Amino acid sequence: MKLISFSVLAFALSLASLSLQAQTDDGLKHCGQTQAIQSLHAKHPELQQHEAQLKQNKSNTGTANKAATATYIIPIVFHIVHEYGYENISDAQVIDAVRILNEDYQLRNADTSTIVPSFKNLKANLNIEFRLAKLDPNGNCTNGIIHVVSPLTNVGDDNVKSDQWDPSKYLNVWVVKSMMAGAAGYAYYPSTADGWPAIDGVVILQDYIGSIGTGAYFRGRALTHEIGHYLDLEHTWGDTNQPGVACGDDGVADTPDTQGWTSCNLSGSICNPPIIENVQNYMEYAYCSRMFTLDQKTRMINALTSTIANRSNLWSPSNLLSTGTDNASFSSTLTCKPIADFTASSKFACVGSSITFSDVSYNAPTSSWQWLFTGGTPSVSTTQTQVVVYNTPGTYPVKLKVANSQGNDSITKTSYITIQPAASPGASTISESFETITIPNTNWTVNSGTDSYTWQMATVGATGSKSVKLNTKQATDGDVDELVGPSLNLNSSYNAYLTFKVAFAQTNTSNTDKFRVLSSKNCGQTWDQRYIKNSTALATTTTIVTGNFVPTAAQWRTETVTLPTILISSNTMFKFEFTSGSGNTIYIDDINVTSAASTNDLLLDGSSVQVMPNPFENQASIKLNARQDGKLTIELVDVLGKSVYTSTDNPVSAGDNTYTIQKNNLTEGVYFLNMTFGETRITRKVIIQ
């Protein structure tokens, strides 16, 4: 089930369908709390009634139900959701984040010395300690930090929580690369999570974790704030999304009414002058957080000692024992065995190119490595990182076995590396209608995302009765699927360009699907974007289709992608890449790569085509020489491949011709001027000043 998961955030959540301020002028992100919760309630109104009943039955302040233990120990697990990029943060960065948490929740943070006099006597030691779990839900050894490969790291919503550990036993934290609404993190109140345990926990950006690696200390307090929500604290101005709107109350007696602050004005007093407002509170937005108050402590301890969302079970002796966070287990120096994983600098390369393989195993330090590179040189290695050269075209597996004193683990990635000839023996054109083939095959490669939905044959076509399709309606949001075409030798070609037909429908106007076409001139080792369209621009019908989309003949559109000379090589490849965002099925058909074999085949003399002046401010002249009469189409596209101006049926006479293009409402920048005459196509780069 896909959930709307943008709720109770700490530092920046805004929904795509809501107009919320997601960050301040200094780039620090804030929150979209009320609107997010309202969106969740709109989807699941039964939660709202449940929450209201729980809030009515509890006391937000007053004397805390103090447990016998001096310290509340909370087992915590971090899920690092990544795609092998910088978002795959180190264990050291996570450990540093836990250090900051424990300092903040135990009043050991050194910056308490700078708390303003009005609040020094209100600063609270919550006696809460966070400990990385040492036993997973199955009783296996863990370091409390797991690494999960998923495109959902780019989305950062509740769908990322599919690997949740029992929330009655662990505080789950998911670390992601980005959030679609520009958020930094969010967490649900206990009253919300009680009605839907599967969404309980914190989601937060990788650069708002800890003070090392991708983190920074001033951002690292974001997790302190989020866990405040997890333990039932509101923002200091109350349950509204944005500060500065109106004076509000958070239901805590010793935090003064405030509009909320996004700058560190330590003498700020707006709501009840001359009463100073608690700008340095962790539940503020000023990024000069130093403290929780005594009554905030009461509210959080009340949450921890309540059965609502099973918070009271987290620190129970039996749970500490089962998660390995009791004093005896936690003080043990026992090391787990590693869990094997690795990544490569590229999965595609030309013969003779170097690929670097890196160990990214987790769960414990690794002391030995055994690599097997079938088809590579070297074919085996015992180093943590290895550079490998492949001298024979083909597709190859890679295996890694890692070990330490506690045991070993291995992983094999089949069909992982694809090696192409340095110069393609293939043709210089493609004309593919998919009528007589199936995919994948020796020419067309399918690179699947993490779910079961990927490119496959379809029984409908723009011409004929077949095409290829991707059922994005059922796919996981953020999942990326690729269709890679054959390698072409275009070295002797002129004026190369790609055309294809596409059909796509939206399921609603907030779909976030993205479709790109990329080209490579080095066997797929690196790619250049040549075309991109997002959901609305991509749609070939204005009709919203909630059922399964099957295009009619009128619902196909022809797209043209120009390949500049600089990107042409003896091994040119094209890739069709789709990122799912809840839209409907996309279809592709009639893929053609066309070029002239020599200048003699051109109806236009490309060498004589001139654009003057270039750059130009208001207008420019196009001068060209044609070999026969006809009609010329002039098109201007931006650097993303979007057509911004088209003029068709311009008369052409054999010999010299002159045409004019106007700046009109176009913005300054780089554009590509495409001129099409018969089967001839010439492209020139132009700059508008």
Q: Where are the domains of the chain?
A: 33-238+296-330, 342-420, 430-599, 602-688
| Residue 533 Cα distances to 191, 434, 516, 537, 629, angstroms | 41, 23, 7, 6, 35
Highest mean pLDDT (candidates 58-72, 224-238, 593-607, 652-666): 224-238
Tokens of 314: 């987290």
Assess contact for 418 and 482: CB atoms under 8 A.
no
Identity of the residue numbered 520: S
Distance from C-alpha of 450 to C-alpha of 440, rounded to nearest angstrom:
17
pTM, to two decimals: 0.78
CATH of range 33-238+296-330; options 3.30.390.50, 3.20.20.300, 3.30.2020.30, 3.40.390.10: 3.40.390.10
What's at 37, amino acid-wise? I
What does the mean pLDDT of the chain come to?
85
Q: Phi and psi of 643, rounded to 5°? A: -75, 125
Are residues 241 and 33 in contact, defined by beta-carbon separation less than 8 angstroms? yes
Res. 196 pLDDT band, cuts 50 70 90: confident
Question: Quick count: other Cβ atoms within 10 Å of Cβ 282?
Answer: 23
Give the separation between CA 215 and CA 209, rounded to whole angstroms: 5
Count of beta carbons in the 10 Å neighbourhood of residue 246: 13
Place of tokens 């620190």: 315
Cβ neighbours around 404 below 10 Å, total: 18
* Cis preceding-peptide flag for 378 (omega within 30 of 0): yes
Write out pLDDT tens, residues 398-408: 999 999 999 99
For residues 233 and 255, give the distance between their C-alpha atoms in angstroms, rounded to a whole number: 11
Give yes or no for residue 606 having a pLDDT over 60.
no
Residue 9 near residue 185, CB atoms below 8 Å? yes
Domains 33-238+296-330 and 602-688 share a fold: no
Architecture of domain 342-420: Sandwich (2.60)
User: At what angle are helices 222-230 and 91-105 packed, to 10 degrees?
Assistant: 60
Reduced to 3 states (helix: H, G, I; strand: E, B; else coil), residue 628 is coil
Please report the pLDDT score of residue 547 as a whole number.
Answer: 93
Q: If one looks up domain 430-599 in CATH, what number appears?
A: 2.60.120.200
Please give the distance of CA 607 from its chain centroid, rounded to a whole number: 44
The label of the residue with tokens 């080792």 reads 525
Note the pLDDT tens digit of each residue in 644-686. 888 888 888 877 888 888 888 888 888 888 888 766 667 777 8
Give the span between the Cα atoms of 125 and 301, in whole angstroms. 11
Active site residue 226: yes
Are 595 and 498 in contact by the 8 Å Cβ rule? The answer is: no
- By C-alpha distance, which of 351, 485, 372, 357 is closest to 419? 351
Nearest-angstrom CA–CA distance, 157 and 203: 8
Please give the average per-residue pLDDT across 177-182, as a whole number.
Answer: 77
- Cα gap 397→412, rounded to integer Å: 7
pLDDT at site 68: 39
Distance CA 287, CA 244 (A): 15
Amino acid at 243: P
pLDDT for residue 83 is more than 90: yes
Backbone angles phi, psi at 193, to 5 degrees: -65, -25
Q: CA-CA distance, 404 to 407, in Å (whole number)?
A: 6
Length of the chain: 689
**Highest mean pLDDT, choosing among 153-162, 415-424, 672-681:** 153-162
Could you tell me if 514 and 582 are in contact, meaning their C-beta atoms sit under 8 angstroms apart?
Answer: no
Q: How far apart are CA 145 and CA 148, in angstroms?
A: 10
From 129, 226, 284, 559, active-site residue: 226
Alpha helices per DSSP H over 136-188: none
Fold of 602-688: Immunoglobulin-like (2.60.40)
